[in-house]
């Protein structure tokens, strides 16, 4: 095989053969193809796309670059994956909520890069909690509390690990074939029986347009079903942050409020909608709202945090400095942009620019007046949190909440379902 031929084939808009794809992914994983050639191919795929057969081949080749996990539990497994959003802490209440119904929820997750936070970073705000679990530990937790969230091991789709890092620095992340194959290679290799995808659409998401989000969702659902993983997707709004908090410890606090039967209405609505889909795919006929109300989900959360070394009763870290953003006039919040809030929270220290950077557990943003809220001049809109107050100005540069005279059109949280 000749890598230059393969790059030219895709550059000129033709399809790659199965043999070419298998060879490229294997050669790249084992450093026989250099970063510069793979970057050229990723850009060609970004510009030219891939047909369905190529996406399936690309996904399978990435799965085969590592090993597949398997669970012997005596109960079914179901996972949820979100394409990433600002304030998206849904995994935290959702895993224990579904596990409380006797379904195992294995969740292998990553750390956040850029303006959306990673689930592992959020959970690491819980004192003592650790993300690195061995496979026998995962198996024990699935048999016991029923849900874990852990760092994906080095052998789970290693080709994707390398390629994602390359895409991140070459402007080739937001390509439907590359996102779909990246996410689904890891989810299929994880060995889950069923998968619910939360595909975000809006300013804070990879997909800004509903039609693109729908295509991404359909591509992923088809990849899952072809691989024998029962799959469906919800298309959900990410034009404004989810809930009232953005940032690691702040989001854990809000997730615990949801598990205690409270929390913001949008977080509760999305948690329940995703839980219903997961339970349906797992063949369980129950209303998950009951397990939030009667404390079963909270009990499972506590058991799951404890099983990973965390102390569910320990106080969460708090940032050393805060600064309020006040309303400059009376009116309604008509704009609170997800990307702006995510970027500001990242600049406050809640996220990282390079994968080896540390994150501040307490940094982030509290939203006192969400989209649509009626406010009066001088009222607190947001509170910024950080350990490093020199970051306030950089965060404020990107934040521009809009106050208008009339209430905005109410947000549609769930735009539709693909199955
Ligand atoms: N998440 C992934 O795992 N891969 C992508 O390409 C995008 C989001």
Task: Ligand 1, residue 83: give the atom nearest the CA.
Answer: 8
- Alpha carbon distance 240, 358 (integer Å): 26
Q: Is residue 254 pLDDT above 90, yes or no? A: yes
Give mean pLDDT, residues 203-219.
96
172 neighbors 47 (Cβ within 8 angstroms): no
- Which of 263, 280, 307 marks a domain boundary? 307
8 & 156 share domain:
no
Residue 154 is classified by DSSP as T
- Selection from 146, 284, 219, 257 nearest residue 418 by Cα: 219
The range of the structural domain enclosing residue 92 comes to 78-307
Catalytic residue positions? 81, 160, 167, 182, 186
Cβ of 180 closer than 6 Å to ligand 1, yes or no, is no
Task: Ligand 1, residue 110: give the atom nearest the CA.
Answer: 3
Establish if 371 belongs to a structural domain. Answer: yes
Task: Ligand 1, residue 167: give the atom nearest the CA.
Answer: 6
137 & 167 share domain:
yes
C-alpha 326 to ligand 1 mean position (Å): 36
Establish if 313 belongs to a structural domain. Answer: no
Cβ of 182 closer than 6 Å to ligand 1, yes or no, is yes
- Note the pLDDT tens digit of each residue in 269-319: 999 999 999 999 999 999 999 999 999 999 999 999 999 999 999 999 999
C-alpha 180 to ligand 1 mean position (Å): 8
206 neighbors 84 (Cβ within 8 angstroms): yes
93 & 20 share domain:
no
Give the pLDDT band of residue 353 (cuts 50, 70, 90): confident
Cβ of 392 closer than 6 Å to ligand 1, yes or no, is no
- Note the pLDDT tens digit of each residue in 71-92: 989 899 999 999 989 999 999 9
Cβ of 109 closer than 6 Å to ligand 1, yes or no, is no
Give mean pLDDT, residues 158-176.
93
Contacts of 275 (CB under 8 A, 6+ apart): 94, 97, 98, 288
Establish if 388 belongs to a structural domain. Answer: yes
Q: Look up the pTM and report it.
A: 0.96
User: What are 369's two structure tokens?
Assistant: 């007046």
In the chain, how many H helices and how many E strands? 16, 13
pLDDT over 90, % of the chain: 93
Burial class (CB in 10 A: 0-12, 13-18, 19+), 204: buried
């Amino acid at each position: 095989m000749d890598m230059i031929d393969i790059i030219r084939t895709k550059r000129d808009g033709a399809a790659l053969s199965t043999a070419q794809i298998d060879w490229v992914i294997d050669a790249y994983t084992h450093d026989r193809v250099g970063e510069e050639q793979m970057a050229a191919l990723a850009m060609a795929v970004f510009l030219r796309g891939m047909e369905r057969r190529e996406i399936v081949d690309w996904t399978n080749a990435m799965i085969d670059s590592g090993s597949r996990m398997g669970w012997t539990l005596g109960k079914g497994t179901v996972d949820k994956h979100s394409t990433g959003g600002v304030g998206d802490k849904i995994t935290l209440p959702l895993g224990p909520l579904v596990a409380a119904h006797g379904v195992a929820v294995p969740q292998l997750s990553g750390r956040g890069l850029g303006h959306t936070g990673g689930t592992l970073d959020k959970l690491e705000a819980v004192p003592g909690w650790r993300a690195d679990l061995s496979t026998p530990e995962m198996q024990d937790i699935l048999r016991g509390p029923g849900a874990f969230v852990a760092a994906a091991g080095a052998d789970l789709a290693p080709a994707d690990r390398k390629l994602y890092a390359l895409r991140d620095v070459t402007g080739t992340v937001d390509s439907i074939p590359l996102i779909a194959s990246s996410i689904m290679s890891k989810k299929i290799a994880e060995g889950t029986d069923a998968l619910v995808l939360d595909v975000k659409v809006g300013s804070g998401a990879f997909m800004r347009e509903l039609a693109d989000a729908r295509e991404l969702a359909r591509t992923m659902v088809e990849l899952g079903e072809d691989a024998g993983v029962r799959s469906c997707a919800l298309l959900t709004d990410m034009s404004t942050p989810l809930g009232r908090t953005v940032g690691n410890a702040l989001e854990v606090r809000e997730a615990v409020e949801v598990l205690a039967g409270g929390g913001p209405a949008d977080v509760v609505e999305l948690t329940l909608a995703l839980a219903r889909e997961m339970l349906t795919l797992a063949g369980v006929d129950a209303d998950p709202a009951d397990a939030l109300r009667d404390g079963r989900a909270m009990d499972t959360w506590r058991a799951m945090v404890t099983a990973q070394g965390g102390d569910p009763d320990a106080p969460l870290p708090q940032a050393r400095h805060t600064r309020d953003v006040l309303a400059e006039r009376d009116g309604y919040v008509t704009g609170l942009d997800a990307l702006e809030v995510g970027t500001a929270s990242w600049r406050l220290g809640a996220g990282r620019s390079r994968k080896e950077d540390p994150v501040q557990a307490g940094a982030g943003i509290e939203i006192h007046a969400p989209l649509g809220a009626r406010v009066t001049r001088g009222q607190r809109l947001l509170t910024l949190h950080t350990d490093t107050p020199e970051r306030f100005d950089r965060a404020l540069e990107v934040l521009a909440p809009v106050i208008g005279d009339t209430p905005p059109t109410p947000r549609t949280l769930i735009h539709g379902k693909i199955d």
